[in-house]
């Protein structure tokens, strides 16, 4: 497997050979979130076979670059460009990593790496909190988040029947290859990254095995205590990340059976 351009040779244990590649979508203006993650759930030793990368856009180099635990892609870092950023991420990962699954998450998520690394995902292509597009919400979800008001027009689809919400979902290698092969036209049709991924997989030329992991998700509104089997919490701001981590630093594995 050939090398990507980088100034440091290792990310986590080794992103090139990792079984699970955790990709945290972020941007330069969210440096406080990145620092909070580095101090909390990424401060602990990574489970065997797991590597983690912060994924940025706005790269000045025409090729993706890796420095330490940061991957920078040559795509614009704007909310409306997140579908393109994810396509670029998956293209990079397919070329430079031997991953079996990617866990793509947001920078306001707390990932329980021990749980995530031990989920039974053999044969699973797409997993997360699966939800249908909700009329009245999905059309304007991007309002107030885009870099330009021109992008804030109602999103009318195309929609998949279900999609895994973008704060924390898993894709297999073959699922990532479907998204990586998406056309520029399909990118222009979508503004919501997680809906875009779900739509791509709904049109795959193979039967995508989907698994709903809703039981493994906790929201900020729930009590900040550890709960066995939870793989991600969302959304948590930097201080909430630190508070939860300081109160619940002990790792919790999935229950047997």
Residue 20: both structure tokens together? 């699970």
pLDDT at position 102 over 80: yes
What is the band of 225 on the pLDDT scale with cuts at 50, 70, 90?
Answer: low
CA angle 219, 146, 241 (to 5 degrees): 30
Q: For residue 221, what pLDDT is reported?
A: 59
What is the band of 14 on the pLDDT scale with cuts at 50, 70, 90?
Answer: confident
Tell me the C-alpha distance between 159 and 119, whole Å: 28
Q: For residue 93, what pLDDT is reported?
A: 96
- Tens digit of each residue's pLDDT (9 = 90 or more) over 23-44: 999 999 999 999 999 999 999 8
Tell me the C-alpha distance between 45 and 210, whole Å: 29
Residues 123-134 have a mean pLDDT of 97
Return the number of other C-beta atoms located less than 10 Å from residue 204's C-beta.
Answer: 16
- Tens digit of each residue's pLDDT (9 = 90 or more) over 38-89: 999 999 899 999 999 999 999 788 899 999 999 999 999 999 999 999 999 9
pTM of the model: 0.90
Q: Which residue has the higher pLDDT, 26 or 229?
A: 26
pLDDT at position 226 over 70: no
Residue 176: both structure tokens together? 């990532």
The region that residue 128 occupies, defined by phi over 0 for left and psi between -120 and 50 for alpha, beta otherwise, is left
pLDDT at position 10 over 80: no
With contact defined as beta carbons under 8 Å apart, do 79 and 107 qualify? no
């Amino acid at each position: 497997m050939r090398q990507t351009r980088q100034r440091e040779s290792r990310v986590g244990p080794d992103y090139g050979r990792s079984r699970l590649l955790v990709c945290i979508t972020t941007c330069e203006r969210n440096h406080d979130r990145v620092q909070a993650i580095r101090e909390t759930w990424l401060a602990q030793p990574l489970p065997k076979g797991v590597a983690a990368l912060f994924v940025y856009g706005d790269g000045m180099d025409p090729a993706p670059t890796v420095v330490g635990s940061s991957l920078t892609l040559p795509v614009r870092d704007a909310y409306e460009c997140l579908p393109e950023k994810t396509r670029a991420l998956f293209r990079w990962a397919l070329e430079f990593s031997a991953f079996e699954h990617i866990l793509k998450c947001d920078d306001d998520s707390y990932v329980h790496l021990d749980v995530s690394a031990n989920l039974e995902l053999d044969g699973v292509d797409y997993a997360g909190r699966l939800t249908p597009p909700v009329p009245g919400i999905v059309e304007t979800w991007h309002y107030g988040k885009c870099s330009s008001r021109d992008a804030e027009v109602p999103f009318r689809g195309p929609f998949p029947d279900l999609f895994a919400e973008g704060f924390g979902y898993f894709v297999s290698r073959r699922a990532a290859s479907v998204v990586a092969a998406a056309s520029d036209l399909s990118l222009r049709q979508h503004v919501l990254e997680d809906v875009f991924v779900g739509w791509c997989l709904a049109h795959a030329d193979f039967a995508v095995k989907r698994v709903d992991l809703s039981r493994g998700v906790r929201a900020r509104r729930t009590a900040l205590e550890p709960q066995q089997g939870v793989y991600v919490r969302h959304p948590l701001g930097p201080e909430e990340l630190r508070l939860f981590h300081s109160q619940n630093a002990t790792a919790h594995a999935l229950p047997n059976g």
